[in-house]
Amino acid sequence: MRPVLYPLSTLFLLLFTSASCGGGGEEEKGSALSGAYAEVGGLSATAVTSSGATLKASVLSSGGSAVTQKGFCWSSARENPEKGDSSVSVYGTTPDFERKVSGLSAGTSYFARAFAVNGAGVAYSSAVRFTTGAAPPEGEDDPWAAFTAPTYADDYSPIAAWSQRSRWNLANVHDPTVEKCGEYYYMYGTDASYGNAHAGHGHFPYRRSKDLVTWDFQGMAMSQTPAWVKDTLNSMRSRQGLPAIENPSYGCWAPVVRKVGEKYRMYYCVVVDNYILSGKPNTAANFDGSWTERAFIGLMETDDLGANLWEDKGMAVCSSTDRGLSWSRPSLSSWEGYFKWNAIDPSLIVTPEGKQWLVYGSWHSGIVAVELDPATGKPFRLGEPWLAAALPGYGSLIYTRNGSRWQGSEAPEVVYSHETGYYYLFLAYDELSVAYNTRVCRARSITGPYLGYNGAGLTQGGECFPILTHPYRFGNHSGWVGISHCCIFQNSDTGEWFYASQGRLPENANGNPHSNAIMMGHVRAIRWTDDGWPLVMPERYAGVPQTPIAEEELIGDWENIVLTYGWQQQQASATVTLTADKKAAGAISGSWSYNAASATLTLGQYRLYLRRELDWEANPRAPTIVYAGLTPQGASIWGKKI
C-alpha cells in the first residue's frame, strides 16, 4: 500500500517569534537560587503528524552551574507554555537533546518551549508553533504512529560470530543483490564476513525482509561449490596441455538474482585462485611466472526463493582472452592481465522486447554484454575461451574506464527505466576497502553507446559521472568508506527505486584496528532528477513515513557534503544555514526557494531533491529531512537537517 499523504496545510509549521526567556522564568520551587540562568535555544519541531512531533533543542550555556533537568513543554492555549503545562524531561549529559512527543490532538496548533534547570531556576527557549495534521481518514492509521527507528549498531563486531547470526540484520553484507518473492525481499551476497564467520557453512549468504529495514538471516544459498567447476576447469586445462588441479582454491562472489518468467535465476561467480602454469595456490611463494586461473559464472534456478531449493544448470560463461596460450606474467607487479573479459560480477536484464542479456566484468579491459538464449539462460555460442576468434561469443564491450587490461572499474549493474526510456549502467570504481565509489551512465540501447553526465561517450573509454556514492562522514560518526558494488531494485507497488550496497567502517573506528573489515548492508532510497539521473539519498532507508515537507521545516542548520572524487578520502560535512528570509550561508551561500509539490529545494545554483529519512548519526536516531543533488561536474551533493 502506498504511504498515506496528507495535505500540506495540515502539516503547517511556523517558527513563532517571541521574546527569549533564557534570562529568566519561573523559579524552581524548593531550591536555593544562585548564579545565572542557563541559556536554551535552537528549538525545532519536525516530523509533525496528526498526533505528535519530534522536538529538538540545545543547552547553549549552563549559566555557570550544573544543569539538573532539561526537557520540553507545550500547550494549545498559551503562547509561552511552562513546565506546569504538558511537559517531558530528557535525560543525558549532552547539550543537544530531543524527544518525540505523542498524544496530541489532530488538526491543532501547539506552542512549545524547551527548558533547562540549574541553580538559578528554570530557563526557557523562545517558543515555536506547529500544527498537527488532520486525523487520518476513517479506517486508516496515522503513518507515524507505528514508526520506530532501528536500533541495531553500525559496529556489529560484538555479534559477528556465526552463533550470533540471528541478530545480524544487515551485518556481514557484501556485494548484495535483492529480489522479491511473495511478501519478502531476499538479499544474497558474496562470501564475506567479519572474522570469516561464514567459513565452512556454505556459500552465498542470504536474508529476507518485508520492509527493507528489519532483515532475518536465513543461511547460505549453496552448501558446497558444484562439482562442474572443477570438472570444467580441468577439462579446459587438459585441452591446453596443463596438469589437472586436484584441490582448486575457490572464491564465491557476487551473485545476481532475477525473476525470469516463473523462475528465479541466480548467476553466481566462482573464482579459481591458482596459477595457470603449475596449478599451485596463489601465494607470492608459489609464483611461477603465470597469471592466475579463470573465473566462472554459473547458473542455478528455483521456483521459490523461500524454499532455497536450487537446481544447478552449470556454467553460463567463463573468463576469456585474445592471447591464446600466452599466459606468462613477468612479475607480481605487472598488471597487464591475461584475460580480456573477466567472468565475475554478473547483472541480468530482460529488455522491454523480452531479450535477455548478461552484463559482467571486472578490472580486465572493461564491461561486456552477451545475449542469452531465453530457454537456457546461457549465451547462444561459446568457443574455446583462449582463442581470439571465440571472443565475440563471450560478449561485446559496452564500457571501459581507460582501455587498459587492468583498470579500476567493476561490478556492473544494469536496470531499465520505463519512465525515462534509458538503460542505466551503475559501476564500482577503485579498490573496495576504502576508495570504492559508485558511478552511473546511461544509454538508449542495452549495448550502448553509454553516455556520461556531460553527454560524452564512454564505451571506448572515459571517466564516468555522476558520482552517486563516495566515502563520507557526517558529524557524530566515524562515517563510511567502501560504499559500492550496488544492486538497484524497484518496489513494484509504490514505484520507489532503491540502491543497496555494503559500507565499511574506516580503520580504527571505535579503537578497533580491524574495523575496516566490518561490512554493513546499506539500503538507500533513490530520487530522480528532472532530466532523468538517479540520486542516492545520503541517509539509509528506515521506513520513515513520507508525509509532506513544509517550507518552514527547512529553516535552520544543515550538514552538507559534496562528494568530490578523492582517492581513499572521506568527504566531510560542513554547515549550511537557511534563514526565514530565504538566505543561505556557510558551505553554500546565496538565496533559496522551495517547491513543496515536487519536494525540491533550489539552493544557490543547485537543485536539490528532498525526502524524509532517519538521522542515523543522532543519538537517539530520529527522523530528519535530507537532500541530494548534482554539481555541474556530476558530483553528488548530500545534506541533512540537524
The verdict on residue 145 lying in a domain is no
- pLDDT tens track for 223-272: 999 999 999 999 999 999 999 999 999 999 999 999 999 999 999 999 99
Written as nine digits, the cell of 498 is: 532503491
Q: What percent of the chain has pLDDT over 90?
A: 85
Minimum mean pLDDT range among 25-34, 96-105, 176-185: 25-34
Cα separation, 127 vs 139, in Å, equals 35
Burial 223-236, CB ≥16 within 10 A → b, else e: eebbebbbebbbeb
Model confidence at 31, in pLDDT bands (50, 70, 90)? very low
Close Cβ partners of 283 (under 8 Å, ≥ 6 residues apart)? none
> Does residue 143 lie in a domain region?
no
Taking the model in full, what pTM does it have? Answer: 0.84
Q: What is the spatial distance between Cα 64 and Cα 638, in angstroms, rounded to a whole number?
A: 38
Binned at pLDDT 50, 70 and 90, residue 602 comes out as very high
CATH number for the domain including 57? Answer: 2.60.40.10
With respect to residue 113, please indicate whether it lies within any of the assigned structural domains: yes
Query: Domain span at residue 19?
Result: 8-131
pLDDT of residue 24: 41
482 falls within a domain: no
pLDDT tens, 403-433? 899 999 999 999 999 999 999 999 999 999 9
Strands 472-473 and 571-572: parallel
Asked whether 638 and 625 are in contact (CB, 8 A), the reply is no
Q: Is residue 85 part of a domain?
A: yes
Tell me if 472 is assigned to some domain. no
Q: Is the peptide bond before 255 cis (omega within 30 degrees of 0)?
A: no
CA distance 522 to 213: 10
Q: What is the pLDDT of residue 34?
A: 54
Please check whether residue 583 lies inside any domain of the structure: no
Q: What is the mean pLDDT of residues 557-585?
A: 97
CA separation for the pair 326, 154 (Å, rounded) = 47
Say whether pLDDT at 509 is over 60: yes
Question: Does residue 236 contact residue 248 with C-beta atoms inside 8 Å?
Answer: no
Q: Is the peptide bond before 620 cis (omega within 30 degrees of 0)?
A: yes
Percent of the chain exceeding pLDDT 70 equals 95
Mean pLDDT of 42-63: 89
Count of the separate structural domains present in the chain: 1
> Quick check: 19 pLDDT over 70?
no
Average pLDDT, the chain: 92
Burial degree of 393 (CB within 10 A; 0-12, 13-18, 19+): middle
Instruction: Compare 553 and 608 and report the one with higher pLDDT.
Output: 608
Classify each residue of 145-182 as buried b or exposed e, where b means 16 or more C-beta atoms within 10 Å of its C-beta. Answer: eebebbeeebbbbebbeeeebeebbbbbbbbbbbbbbe
The pLDDT-based confidence of 94 (bands split at 50, 70, 90) is: confident
Category of 367 on φ-ψ map: left (φ > 0), alpha (ψ -120 to 50) or beta: beta
Is 127 a domain residue?
Answer: yes
